[in-house]
Structure 1
Amino acid sequence: MRCNHLVRMVNWEAEASALQDIRTTVFIQEQQVPVSLEWDEFDVISLHMLAFNNYGKPVGTARLLPDGHIGRMAVLKEWRGKGYGSAMMHQILNELRSRDMQKGLLNAQTSAVKFYEKFGFQAYGEEFVEAGIPHVKMNYFLK
C-alpha cells in the first residue's frame, strides 16, 4: 500500500489527545521515559506536527519550539520505516525556513543519528544521557 504521508501542523490545545497518545506509546511505554520527564511547559508554546496514515489515524508526531529546537519526534512502531518521520522532518525544515531561522537544533537519540544526518544535521559535543537514553546534540544550518 502506498503511503501518502499527510503531515499537518497543529497546536497543543487542538490535538493534545493525539499527540499525547503517540508520545505515551513511544516514549513512556516503549522507551520507559519517566512520565515526569515527558510532559513539560514547552508543549503549549510549540508548533506540533502530526503525521497521518492512509486511514486518517495519527501515527507520528514532532514539535518545534520557538527557538528552533526540534524534539519529541516519534512514530508508532508499526509505521516506522515508511517515510512518516521524513515527511515530518521536511515539514519542520520548511517551517524553519519560513521563519527565517538560521539553524535547527535537536538532541538525537544515538540510535537515530543516521536518520537526522540524511537531512544534513551534524552531531557535535559529547554523548550524554537524557531520560536514561544516550543522546547527542545535532544542528542544521539553513541556507
Structure 2
Amino acid sequence: MLIVETSQDLATCLSLRRTVFIEEQNVPEAEEIDGKDAEAVHILARQGKTPVGCARVIGFGTTAKIGRVCVLPEFRGKAVGVAILDACHDAARATGATRVILGAQTQAVSFYERLGYAAYGDVFDDAGIPHRMMERGL
C-alpha cells in the first residue's frame, strides 16, 4: 500500500534524493543540497515501510514552489509521482498558495502536463539537465 504524507524525516528524503539526483543523474552534491530544506514542507512516499519517493514545497505567499520531486527507478510508472504531487498540492494550499510552480526536467514535462501544469519560459540548464518552468492553479 502506498502511503504519502508530510514528513519530518528529512534524512530519509535526503537519502532518496542522493540516490536519484546525485548517483543516478550525476547532479553535483553542492547543487542538490542547496540550504533550502529547513524552510520546506517535505512529502515522503512509502510502499509499506519502504521509502520510494519524495518532494518538497516552499511557500511564497500565494505561490508555492515544488521541488526535488523524485521516485526510485523501480517504482516509476506506478502512480507514485502522481500521489506525491497530489500531496504537494495539499501542502501548498495549506500555506495559502493558489498557484504552484516547478522546474521540470524536459523529459518529465509531459508527466506534469497530464497533471494540469503548463510550461512557460525558455528551456534552461539546472545541474547540467535541461528544464522548463511550469505552473498550475490550485
TM-score (norm 2): 0.93
Determine if the alignment matches structure 1 residue 59 to structure 2 residue 52.
yes
Consecutive unaligned residues in structure 2, runs of 5 or more: none
Cross-structure match for 2:99: 103
Q: Residues of 2 paired with 1:34 and 1:134: CA distance?
A: 15
Contact persistence 2:10–2:42 (CA under 8 A): no
Task: Provide the aligned length of Structure 1 versus Structure 2.
Answer: 135
Contact persistence 1:64–1:70 (CA under 8 A): yes
Q: Residues of 1 paired with 2:127 and 2:104: CA distance?
A: 12
* Cα displacement (A) at 1:120: 0.7
Cross-structure match for 1:44: 38
Q: Percent identity among equivalent residues?
A: 40
Cross-structure match for 1:16: 10
Q: Where does 1:50-89 land on structure 2 (aligned, <5 Å)?
A: 50-54=44-48, 56-67=49-60, 68-89=64-85
Consecutive unaligned residues in structure 1, runs of 5 or more: none
Larger strand percent: 2
Cross-structure match for 1:129: 125
* Cα displacement (A) at 1:5: 2.0
Q: Which runs of 4+ in 1 moved over 4 A?
A: none
C-alpha distance after superposition, 1:2-44 (max 9, x if no partner): xx22001013xxx122111100000000000001100022101
